[in-house]
Amino acid sequence: MPPRRDASASLHGRPRGARRRGRGGTRGERPGIHRLSGIHCVREALLAGRRELLRLWVDEQAARGGDVAALCERAAAMGLPVTAVAADDLVARLDPSARRSNPQGLVLEAGPLPEPTLEELLEGAASDDFCLVVLDGVEDPQNVGAIARVAEAAGADGLVLGSRRAPPIGPAAARASAGAVEWLPIARVPNLSRALDQLQAAGLWVVGAQVEAPTSLFEVPERILRGPLAVLMGAEGKGLREGVQRRVDHPVSIPMAGHVGSLNVATATAVVLFELVRRRAARSAGDASQ
């Protein structure tokens, strides 16, 4: 079924009688409502079904075929209102944090993602392959979203953020994650040091990335790999805070062969996670052959 055309739209792309948006968004929007954009982000939100989905706006030209048309059909089959609008009106409906991004023909209005407790995340900690990613002081939503994408792709079981310094998982982080936040459980904790104590009490080894750590990532002992892990990453420039560093069981550094001394935190997270995944897979293959 084709999307409904917004008959109330004016020549300037706004519904008649609508006020221009200020910095606080559009009047009448419910608090906590997110406007997600981008094909990957919208597709994963529709597929995962972990949040309340309210309505979908689509570019009237893009809705005629391809991925956008397919997502319109899926949304309509789920009972969501689907409305076709002019391209400039679609941009006007973007969340303020995403105004500079290309909506790729879609804006999905949805509720916030549910946030599990740390205790709920730890329900799977009995598995030797269990892995959480923990962020200390990473404040940029783009970085948090990119890390969520890496963590989900690497098969991590969840992401842990400190509630004081971490950004909300809003449209900017969701877009940067390419929809990975729709699948990856993300918990917020009031005190990260205490949360690390709780992880250790549950049997997790805490592996912390530190630039000056004497042990290379490539030299992580086998005993660390034979059990649940928490991979701890700090903010760019600042690294891990002192109180957090004291909770690290095994500090590791990424060997750097070039002239630059560090990596972007999302890139560093990818290096650490996938090296640990590779080592665990090699260990499992070796155990199976014996």
Q: Which of 36-50, 87-101, 134-148, 183-197 has the lowest mean pLDDT?
A: 87-101
Q: How far apart are CA 154 and CA 146, in angstroms?
A: 12
Amino acid at 41: C
Regarding whether 45 and 173 lie in a shared domain, the answer is no
Q: Which residues lie below 8 Å from residue 128, measured CB to CB, with a gap of 6+? A: 226, 227, 228
- Region 186-205 average pLDDT: 97
Same domain membership, residue 135 and residue 236 = yes
Whether 105 and 122 map to the same domain: the answer is no
Q: Using an 8 Å Cβ cutoff, are 130 and 204 in contact?
A: yes
Whether 132 and 192 share a structural domain: yes
Q: How many CB atoms lie within 10 A of CB 224?
A: 16
Could you report the per-residue pLDDT of 151-176, keeping only the tens digit for each?
999 999 999 999 888 999 999 999 99
Contacts of 156 by beta carbon, 8 Å cutoff, 6+ apart: 131, 132, 133, 184, 231, 273
Residue ranges making up the domain that contains 24: 4-110
Is residue 65 scored above 90 in pLDDT?
Answer: no
- pLDDT tens-digit series, residues 80-98: 999 999 999 999 999 887 7
Last residue of a domain, one of 90, 110, 130: 110
Domain boundary among 83, 110, 137: 110
For helices 39-48 and 66-77, give the axis angle rounded to 10 degrees: 30
Q: Are residues 264 and 167 in the same domain?
A: yes
> 96 and 12 in one domain?
yes
H helices present in the chain, as ranges? 39-48, 66-77, 87-92, 118-121, 141-153, 171-176, 192-201, 222-225, 242-245, 265-289
Number of domains in the chain: 2
